[in-house]
Amino acid sequence: MKALAAPLTVEQYFLEARSKLLDLAAFLDRIHRGESTSAAVTDSRVKKIEKALEVLLEKSGVDRAARIQEIFSQEYDPQWKKPSPR
């Protein structure tokens, strides 16, 4: 499958990306306006979001989606229970 031309990608997906960024900004604003802010900003989930934002801000970013997915993924554990058939 051929990749979409960059200008067409911007045209088709700009508003969706803008909306998601605004949602994220609102989420972070709610954290910083709320009570017990220090507890929230040290929460591992918030730290993962901050790390993902750093990946997004890299100028020469490559495979950003895969790298961000890894930030939110658990390390493989060979002891995980295998699912059984139904």
pTM for this predicted structure: 0.78
Residue 85 placed within a domain: no
What pLDDT sits at residue 7?
A: 94
Residue 42 placed within a domain: yes
What pLDDT sits at residue 47?
A: 95
Residue 82 placed within a domain: no
The pLDDT of residue 69 is above 80: yes
List the domain range (segments joined by +) for residue 24. Answer: 6-71
Q: How many other CB atoms are there within 10 angstroms of residue 55's CB atom?
A: 16
What pLDDT sits at residue 60?
A: 81
Number of domains within the chain: 1
Residue 43 placed within a domain: yes
What pLDDT sits at residue 55?
A: 95
**Stretch 18-38: mean pLDDT, rounded?**
93
24 vs 3: CA distance, rounded Å: 27
